[in-house]
């Protein structure tokens, strides 16, 4: 129960931060959606970084390192540490400038004005909104799962108290008894159902650990807390909570390193020797399980960061553009401080908690800490994990900002009802979105994988929209037709790769290998978790295709008007 109490305290703190931010607000549109464009340098760097750090990034990286080794750091972290600061430097600063100069709050407002076209903005709005929604659902699901997990009732023997599971009709649920598969007379790690003498599966009552807080209540609590501080605090509350969470992540990594290291006989050095000597784990200390093509093409993924609406909107909250200076310099170091321990723990987890599947390996750090800490530290750990899963706050606010600016305001809502109503529309939207995400999280409790998959696809989609933004900012000749062609290409290629992925489920190879998908002349391959194009991740052809369409179609169609070009590319004064 103690870990759950610590987490409740954490939830109370973030709720208080949101309410405190509300007391500082002026009620205006800029204040609610952009914190009045007044964030100071330290809150700006911490909140921008925290906004990017989701459960998917932190727990997902350790889970992937558990399966594929140390290369995950180079694959995801150091590539992000290189690409994201560059995008903030070249794109973020310009978004800030244009936002301040012309009053834009969202990317769509900028695109509509830059390309003199409402429709292209609407298409981009629809695509980005669809790609953002899975985050909200995963955040709510993660909250329910985490609270349920840390409130497990433990027996006197130190093991969870188990209770019978019942079907919806009230009958006891049953499950097959699983036994190790025997090959050549020897048991293997693979489990198969036990059969009786007639060949029928032997069943046993289905049991599960008893929890103080159920999944449903946990998800509701987390959704309510996130909704409240976003509802009251708006961007200011969200930025403060994100800063607090970033500090928590940073201290969490260091604490975990010390705690786990101190429990190992001979320290990490002896552990590494043991792993190097074991053929099962030796490959994890090199990059054998990551193909070079995948490593190379993964560097396109961090281009997605600046195209996420919540990151682009966050760029407009800085009080001064000079606040970006510290942000871009410290960003790679912050990434290192958080991801290095995560990847390292994921790798040593393969030795300390062996046998986790692809689906459960994201839980490797919580498991290691549970086994190496006391209840109080486990609670603090729970709060750290909760901070990860609650990163959906920025996405909720971004969706609310997009709805109230790109739909409500654009179609005359503000003129008809006024600015205060617009802000309240944004707030009501937050409640509706949270409620829908909660209901989906309840209904599709066991379908978490679908939304995680959607998020992975969304990264490629946002990355492939980056050429659209680059063209808008740096190429006068780019026009709405080029932008529309590139956006439709992104939507099409996302749909196609999703379909190809689902259609090849039956031929998926084990992790680390890939097979040709028949019927495509060797163009497409299927790996365990993705579709590949000539061995490269689909994000690479998607980005290149988007850039080529942006350039080609723009050149074949008329340029934007002289007035628009002069507005966005004013002649330089001496």
Residues of the shown chain interacting with another protein in the complex, contacts defined by CB under 8 A: 29-30, 70-71, 73-74, 77-79, 81-82, 85-86, 89, 93-94, 96-97, 100-105, 108-110, 112-113, 121, 267-269, 272, 276, 282, 285-288, 292, 295-296, 299, 320-322, 325, 328-333, 335-336, 340, 343-344, 347, 405, 409-410, 414, 572
Task: Name which of 277 and 506 has its Cβ closer to another protein.
Answer: 277
Tokens representing 392?
Answer: 């959906």
* Positions of E strands within 1-41: none
Task: Name which of 325 and 508 has its Cβ closer to another protein.
Answer: 325
CB of 158 to another protein, least distance (A): 30
Task: Name which of 48 and 77 has its Cβ closer to another protein.
Answer: 77
Task: Name which of 457 and 568 has its Cβ closer to another protein.
Answer: 568
Give the integer Cα–Cα distance in Å for 388 and 282: 30
Q: Are 45 and 323 in contact (CB under 8 A)?
A: yes
Tokens representing 551?
Answer: 């350039």
Kindly report the backbone phi and psi dihedral angles of residue 174, in degrees, each rounded to the nearest multiple of 5, phi listed first: -120, 155
Q: Are 312 and 125 in contact (CB under 8 A)?
A: no
CB of 379 to another protein, least distance (A): 28
Q: Are 5 and 206 in contact (CB under 8 A)?
A: no
Sequence-separated (6 or more) residues with CB below 8 Å from residue 532: 293, 294, 514, 524, 525, 526, 538
CB of 333 to another protein, least distance (A): 5
Q: Are 474 and 537 in contact (CB under 8 A)?
A: no
CB of 258 to another protein, least distance (A): 13
Task: Name which of 109 and 425 has its Cβ closer to another protein.
Answer: 109
CB of 113 to another protein, least distance (A): 5
Task: Name which of 29 and 526 has its Cβ closer to another protein.
Answer: 29
- Closest by CA to 452, choosing from 529, 505, 339, is 529
Torsion of CA 470, 474, 476, 481, to 10 degrees: 0
Give the integer Cα–Cα distance in Å for 263 and 311: 39
Instruction: With H, G, I as helix, E, B as strand and everything else as coil, classify residue 183.
Output: strand
Pairing, β 174-176 against β 178-183: unpaired
CB of 399 to another protein, least distance (A): 17
CB of 107 to another protein, least distance (A): 11
Tokens representing 330?
Answer: 């410290």
Three-class secondary structure assignment of 452-491: HHHHHHHHHHHHHCHHHHHHHHHCCCCCHHHHHHHHHHHH
Task: Name which of 276 and 507 has its Cβ closer to another protein.
Answer: 276
Give the count of alpha carbons within 13 A of 558, CB side only. Answer: 4
Task: Print burial letters for 41-76: b (CB count within 10 Å at least 16), e (below 16).
Answer: bebbbbbbbbbbbbbbbbbbbbbbbbbbbbbbbebb
CB of 382 to another protein, least distance (A): 27
Task: Name which of 333 and 450 has its Cβ closer to another protein.
Answer: 333
Task: Name which of 247 and 329 has its Cβ closer to another protein.
Answer: 329
CB of 527 to another protein, least distance (A): 18
Give the integer Cα–Cα distance in Å for 574 and 565: 19
CB of 286 to another protein, least distance (A): 5
User: Which parts of 207-358 fold into alpha helices (H)?
Assistant: 215-262, 267-277, 279-282, 292-297, 304-307, 309-315, 323-352
Task: Name which of 198 and 573 has its Cβ closer to another protein.
Answer: 573
- Closest by CA to 461, choosing from 363, 539, 382, is 539
Task: Name which of 6 and 84 has its Cβ closer to another protein.
Answer: 84
For residue 186, what are the β-bridge partners?
Answer: 183
Task: Name which of 60 and 346 has its Cβ closer to another protein.
Answer: 346
Sequence-separated (6 or more) residues with CB below 8 Å from residue 260: 345, 348, 368, 369, 372
CB of 97 to another protein, least distance (A): 4
Q: Are 197 and 164 in contact (CB under 8 A)?
A: no
For residue 525, what are the β-bridge partners?
Answer: 516, 532
CB of 408 to another protein, least distance (A): 11
Task: Name which of 410 and 429 has its Cβ closer to another protein.
Answer: 410
CB of 491 to another protein, least distance (A): 22
């Amino acid at each position: 129960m103690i870990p759950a109490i610590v987490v409740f305290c954490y939830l109370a703190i973030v709720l208080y931060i949101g309410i405190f931010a509300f007391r500082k607000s002026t009620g205006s549109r800029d204040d609610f959606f952009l914190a009045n464009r007044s964030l100071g340098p330290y809150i700006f760097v911490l909140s921008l970084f925290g906004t990017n750090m989701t459960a998917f990034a932190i727990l997902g990286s350790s889970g992937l390192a558990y399966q594929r080794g140390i290369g995950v750091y180079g694959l995801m972290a150091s590539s992000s540490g290189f690409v994201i600061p560059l995008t903030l430097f070249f794109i973020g600063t310009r978004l800030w400038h244009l936002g301040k100069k012309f009053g834009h709050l969202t990317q769509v407002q900028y695109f509509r004005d830059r390309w003199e076209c409402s429709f292209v903005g609407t298409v981009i709005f629809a695509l980005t909104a669809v790609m953002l929604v899975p985050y909200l659902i995963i955040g709510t699901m993660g909250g329910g799962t985490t609270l349920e997990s840390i409130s497990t009732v433990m027996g006197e023997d130190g093991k969870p108290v188990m209770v019978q599971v019942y079907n919806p009709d009230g009958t006891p649920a049953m499950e097959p008894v699983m036994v190790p598969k025997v090959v050549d007379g020897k048991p293997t790690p693979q489990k198969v159902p036990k059969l009786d003498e007639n060949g029928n599966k032997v069943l046993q009552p289905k049991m599960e650990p008893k929890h103080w807080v159920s999944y449903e209540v946990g998800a509701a609590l987390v959704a309510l807390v996130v909704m409240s501080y976003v509802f009251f605090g708006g961007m200011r509350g969200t930025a403060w909570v994100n800063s607090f969470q970033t500090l928590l992540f940073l201290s969490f990594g260091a604490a975990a390193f010390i705690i786990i290291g101190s429990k190992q006989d001979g320290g990490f050095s002896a552990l590494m020797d043991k792993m190097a000597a074991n053929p099962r784990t030796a490959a994890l200390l090199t990059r054998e399980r990551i193909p070079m093509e995948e490593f190379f093409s993964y560097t396109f993924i961090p281009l997605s960061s600046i195209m996420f609406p919540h990151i682009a909107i966050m760029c407009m909250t800085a009080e001064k553009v000079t606040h970006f200076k510290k942000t871009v310099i410290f960003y790679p170091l912050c990434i290192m401080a958080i991801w290095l321990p995560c990847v390292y723990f994921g790798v040593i987890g393969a030795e300390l908690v062996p046998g986790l599947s692809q689906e459960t390996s994201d839980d490797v750090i919580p498991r290691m800490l549970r086994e190496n800490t006391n209840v109080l530290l486990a609670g603090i750990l729970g709060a750290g994990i909760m901070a990860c899963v609650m990163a959906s706050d920025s996405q909720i606010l971004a969706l609310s900002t997009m709805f109230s600016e790109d739909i409500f305001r654009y179609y005359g809502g503000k003129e008809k009802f006024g600015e205060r109503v617009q802000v309240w529309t944004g707030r009501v939207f937050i409640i509706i979105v949270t409620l829908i995400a909660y209901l989906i999280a309840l209904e599709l409790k066991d379908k978490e994988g679908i939304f995680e998959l959607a998020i992975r696809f969304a990264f490629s989609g946002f990355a492939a929209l980056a050429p659209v933004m680059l063209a808008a900012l740096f190429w006068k000749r780019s026009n709405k037709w080029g932008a529309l062609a590139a956006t439709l290409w992104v939507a099409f290629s996302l749909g196609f790769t999703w379909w190809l992925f689902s259609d090849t489920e039956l031929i998926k190879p084990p992790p680390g290998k890939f097979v040709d998908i028949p019927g495509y002349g060797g163009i497409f391959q299927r790996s365990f978790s993705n579709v590949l194009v000539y061995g490269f991740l689909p994000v690479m052809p998607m980005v290149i295709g988007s850039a080529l369409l942006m350039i080609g179609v723009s050149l074949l169609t008329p340029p934007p008007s002289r007035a628009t070009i002069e507005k966005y590319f004013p002649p330089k004064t001496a």
